Amino acid sequence: MATKQFLLNPSRTGKQGTQINIGKDNDEYESIVNTLTMHPDDMASLGVSQGDSVVVRTEYGEATFNCESGNTPEGMLFVPYGPPTCRLMGAVTDGTGMPMSKGWLVEVEPVDNELK
C-alpha cells in the first residue's frame, strides 16, 4: 500500500466544545476524535474513500482514523484533539504544559479497508 507524507494540524472543534456538557464517554465524542479530514485529491492519491481508515504515523507513535473529505488545503490534514492524537505527540513541552502539536510531518497509509 502507498504511504505518503502530509502536514497534520490538530485542533479543537466547536463540536468538542459542546461535548463538555455531554461528556467524553459516548459514541459521538469517539467519532469526532477519530475522524481525519483530508482534501479529496489527497484521498484519491492514497486510494481511500469517504469512511475508509488510514494509519497516521509520527516519530512518536501511530493512530488509526476514519477519513472524510473536506475543505482542507491539499497536502494538509486536520484531526480534532483527542486520545488518538495523544498517541502521535512526544512528551517534551518546552515548559508550556502541552507538547508541540501543530505542523507535524506525518506518514499516512491506508488500512486494508476491504477487511472492514
CATH number at 89 reads 2.40.40.20
Question: What's the number of domains the chain is made of?
Answer: 1
**pLDDT number for residue 54:** 96
Which residue carries 484533539 as its cell?
81
More reliable by pLDDT, 42 or 19: 42
66-81 residue pLDDT tens: 999 999 999 999 999 8
Containing domain of residue 91, as a range? 4-115
Q: Which among 104, 95, 24, 1 has a CA at the least distance from the CA of 57? A: 104
Detail the DSSP E strand segments found in 3-91.
4-8, 35-38, 53-57, 62-69, 76-78
pLDDT, one tens digit per residue, over 20-77 is 666 667 778 888 889 999 999 999 999 999 999 999 999 889 999 999 999 999 999 9
Question: Is 0.75 surpassed by the pTM of this model?
Answer: yes
What are the φ/ψ torsions at residue 17 (nearest 5 degrees)? -60, -40
